[in-house]
Structure 1
Amino acid sequence: MNNQEQFKEHREHAIVVVLGDIGHSPRMCYHALSLANHGVHVHLVGYRNSMPHKRIVSHPNISLVPMNPPPDRFSKEWPAALSLLLKFVWIFFMLFYTLLVKTNRRVSLVVLQNPPGIPSMLVCYMISYIKWAYLVIDWHNYTFSMLNTNFRLDEPSVRKSGVLKGYVKMASIWEGFWGQRANWNLCVSHAMREDLLKRWNVHAVTLYDKPPEWNFKLLSIEEQHNFHRTLLEMDAFKPYWEERSLYSRDPELENSTEITKFTHRDESGVARLRTSRPLLLVSSTSWTEDEDFGILLDALKEYETHAHITANYAEKSRLPDLYVVITGKGPQKEYYLERISRMHFQHARILTAWLAAEDYPKMLACADLGVSLHTSTSGLDLPMKVVDMFGCSIPVLAKRFPAIGELVIDGVNGRLFDKESDLKQSLIELATGFPNFSESLDKLKASLRFERQPTWDEQWDASFWPLVQSLFLPSIREFKRWERFNNDENDQ
């Protein structure tokens, strides 16, 4: 066995568990990457419905450990109460087997995402006990609050099942019980940290979501133009992004060699933003009940009316055409797609699309404004989509809820709204005069671009790494010693 193989045999291992699609669990992927960059080998466990970013997949210190989700028929063919029982049994045995058998026998750390926490909190506690590992629970929200919303137990019109109400109450007790038994707890907001302490006497450290600088960032105009050209090759985007028969009407396009709705390459070969481009609005949604997407559609109706009225106004007072790109998957998507199909706008175009993990950050970086309809089932978590938009310096119109003020500062990096009329008013105010005379929008963009925020790596190293560093110190020293030895060997 050579030196490299000996090191791999004895280095430290960690398990990062997400009881969901790994590819759509960015925070847990970032945990895995941060640990891996410190020389820890990470087993990233979860459902493999979609692939995470290639930086995660290709990292030599990260191993993806797929786990089979419960069959769909549990939800489709059985009553809710029985379905919950079947899922509990399935997940318990599948997760226990996966963590016990498919991960290294020597593990120092288990990091679990909550929610969902049933039965994963119990399973991860058992595994951490068996493998002598520290257990960390990363609180993104509450399992009980999500169940309460999913079962619509707060709605007077819904007949309340005693079994389901009891299950939700049990979930709350369950979360508090296992949260107290974790070695460390992390959470996504100060409001959640205070609530964890008050509700269950669970002490947590706030680790805000931050976009990694290698993924969500500003793009140059050249990079934006190239991405718009890439979208022209996609069937879903081509009808919207392709420029048609405007060459004679727009002097700006004379002698241009490459043209999209938003950019063009002039005769000298320089990529430029078009001065007559539409405003690009982006929104990412899970198409669930905690995001009332009808608010945005109703606001777009009002925008269409005002855009039609101002069509012949001077440019400073005119509303631009609006291109709305909506990404995401979820249970209510078909319902809203049917609503969208009945909306015939001249000045607002709505496109629902699924973007690859590498393309989504580029779309955000090309956008002018973002919308978040997330309200949180607990009122305490913060939407990752807004974090990503801020990473690309995109101002956000965000639905108001208790914790959102920790992320969106009204009038500084975005606007907050309570109802459709508020969203419409902010959208019209920011869009008026775009792109040449939109001072309010430009001010929000400037605030994001010139006020530097800490990166994920900086915050993770400051907040979480000091907690767990002592677990790995001997192996970290050995890792650095092996790295130096390997580098010296390569130089010879």
Structure 2
Amino acid sequence: MIETVISIAFCLSSVLTVLILLLPSQYVPERAKSGGSSNDTEQHKTSVQILVLGDIGRSPRMQYHALSIARNGGKVVIIGYNESDPHPDITTHPKISIVPLRPHPRLLQTSNKLLFIIYGPLKVLFQIGCLWKCLAYTTTPSRWLLVQNPPSIPTLAIASIVCFLRQTKLIIDWHNFGYSILALKLGQSHPLVKLSIWYEKVFCKSASAHLCVTNAMKTVLKTDFNLEAPILPLHDRPASHFKPILDSNARTAFLSKLPETKEAFASLKPSSLRVLVSSTSWTPDEDFSVLIDALLQYSEMATTTHTHLPNVLAIITGKGPQKEMYLEQIAALEKRDKLQKVTIRTAWLTVPDYAQLLASASLGVSLHTSSSGVDLPMKVVDMFGAGLPVVGWDRFEAWPELVTEGVNGLGFGSSEELVQHLVELFGNNDKLELLRVGAQKESSRRWDDEWNPIAGSLIGLT
């Protein structure tokens, strides 16, 4: 009997010892200053991990965070999916490194609502394992962990636990709410959506501070989430590579060489062609049919009652789950000869080419509808950075924080309203140029000007 008790005690103590040894190592400022194993030596003012449970290359705001931290003397590790090329400065900066997350099996990706309910938990379990391994063991401890939200499941829970064990301070950067995006797929009253609301409100309370993209979002976080930690609005601003091209001849020269636009410019005079640009993630929160319907109406009007209207070349950039569905619709319209005055092309461009395309185009279009009503589309910020006027879906609360109606852009709430704007602006170049002047003035407001006194001050870099 005694031998059995001793054996059980020995086994339990062995298991406990292994668990203790496997606990994540902690961030120790004293060890960092002395050049210890944390690798956060005196040459770095602080260390920050940035977690993106998504494609790093398609997360511009988090890349801008990384560049700002590194330029101000901090050490940065970006954790996320390495599916597309990040900003060139990210890959070449000596203070920035990337730790890629293992992508989930393609089998677990589905747009079917029933299969989503089945595959969803399996996908979450897979992500839990990958996140825990990466945050707790693969990477060395850091002073701060900056987490992009959404997605919130399982990011917030894993980040909260790891930060507690590693003595790391957690900052949540709120781009939107995870539950509001989930509601687009399942409906507001679905039990999983209600669970997501509870989850997000519980685990966000472990953060030391919160950043958010609008003042309206700060109000929601303060009143509905009852957060006591500091909530700091940090509006998106364009990075330095988005710049206006003031010379119209230079804009035409670029469009004449870009593979996606040079064919149209070769067959038409620049004065009889307008280039429209829309960047989309091809997801349900951007109803792309609104733009297709508007272009369809524009083409009909331009060939019948408003023959003075110029041709339109619409360049749609981005990747996403609904892309093929819309491409089939566009192909069917072209086959039926319904887009005589409109040409629609898709593109996936390098960062420099995308920036120049925005600066060279005639008009930008945003179809972001905002699942929460309090987030804003980053694409419009980039367009303003390039001096490109914008027309966008404006039926949500935070829209006026970004666009000044009639000065740098126009809002719409239907395809009919959008086509009215296209006819008005493309039929009267003076009105279009007036908006361009407003957009160029908006381009002077830059990311570092916003980041330094808010996020930089928060983590002790400025």
Match of 2:169 in 1: 134
Match of 2:409 in 1: 414
- Alpha carbons of structure 1 residues 451 and 168: separation in structure 2 relative to 1, 3 Å: closer
**What are structure 2's unaligned runs of at least 5 residues?**
1-34
2: CA distance, partners of 1:181 / 1:51: 32
2: CA distance, partners of 1:376 / 1:450: 26
Match of 1:454 in 2: 445
The correspondence of residues 73-222 of structure 1 with structure 2, limited to 5 A, is 73-76=107-110, 79-105=115-141, 107-151=142-186, 153-154=187-188, 165-202=190-227, 203-218=230-245, 220-221=247-248
Listed one character per residue, the Cα deviations across residues 251-277 of structure 1 (whole Å, up to 9, x for unaligned) are xxxxxxxxxx57xxxxxxxxxxx4x24
Q: Contact 2:256 / 2:262 at 8 angstroms: preserved in 1?
A: no
Deviation at 1:32, TM superposition (A): 0.7
CA RMSD of the aligned region, Å?
2.3
Match of 2:342 in 1: 348
Q: What is the percentage of aligned positions where both structures have the same residue?
A: 39
1: CA distance, partners of 2:288 / 2:361: 19
Listed one character per residue, the Cα deviations across residues 217-258 of structure 1 (whole Å, up to 9, x for unaligned) are 436456535533541xx3x545334x24xxxxxxxxxxxxxx
Structure 1 residue 332 corresponds to structure 2 residue 329: no
- Alpha carbons of structure 1 residues 451 and 15: separation in structure 2 relative to 1, 3 Å: closer
- Alpha carbons of structure 1 residues 384 and 197: separation in structure 2 relative to 1, 3 Å: same
Listed one character per residue, the Cα deviations across residues 163-185 of structure 1 (whole Å, up to 9, x for unaligned) are xx222111111111122220000
Q: TM-score, normalised by structure 1?
A: 0.80
Which structure shows the bigger proportion of residues in helix conformation? Answer: 2
The correspondence of residues 476-491 of structure 1 with structure 2, limited to 5 A, is none
Structure 1 residue 239 corresponds to structure 2 residue 234: no
- Alpha carbons of structure 1 residues 180 and 331: separation in structure 2 relative to 1, 3 Å: same
Match of 2:65 in 1: 31
**Residue correspondences, number:** 416
Match of 1:320 in 2: 310
Look up the equivalent residue of 1:42 and give its one-letter code.
V
2: CA distance, partners of 1:353 / 1:38: 34
Q: Contact 1:13 / 1:104 at 8 angstroms: preserved in 2?
A: no
Q: Quick check: 338-347 or 448-457, which moved more?
A: 448-457
Deviation at 1:79, TM superposition (A): 3.1
1: CA distance, partners of 2:154 / 2:324: 31
Match of 1:294 in 2: 289
Look up the equivalent residue of 1:63 and give its one-letter code.
S
1: CA distance, partners of 2:109 / 2:425: 44
Match of 2:389 in 1: 395
1: CA distance, partners of 2:255 / 2:306: 26
3-state SS in 2 of match to 1:412:
coil
Structure 1 residue 60 corresponds to structure 2 residue 54: no
1: CA distance, partners of 2:402 / 2:144: 30
Match of 1:20 in 2: 54
Would you identify which runs of 4 or more consecutive aligned residues in structure 1 move more than 6 Å?
A: 5-8
Q: TM-score, normalised by structure 2?
A: 0.85
Listed one character per residue, the Cα deviations across residues 186-226 of structure 1 (whole Å, up to 9, x for unaligned) are 11011111011111112521000111123444364565355
Structure 1 residue 440 corresponds to structure 2 residue 431: yes
Deviation at 1:338, TM superposition (A): 1.3
Q: Contact 1:219 / 1:366 at 8 angstroms: preserved in 2?
A: no
Deviation at 1:354, TM superposition (A): 1.7
2: CA distance, partners of 1:360 / 1:135: 33
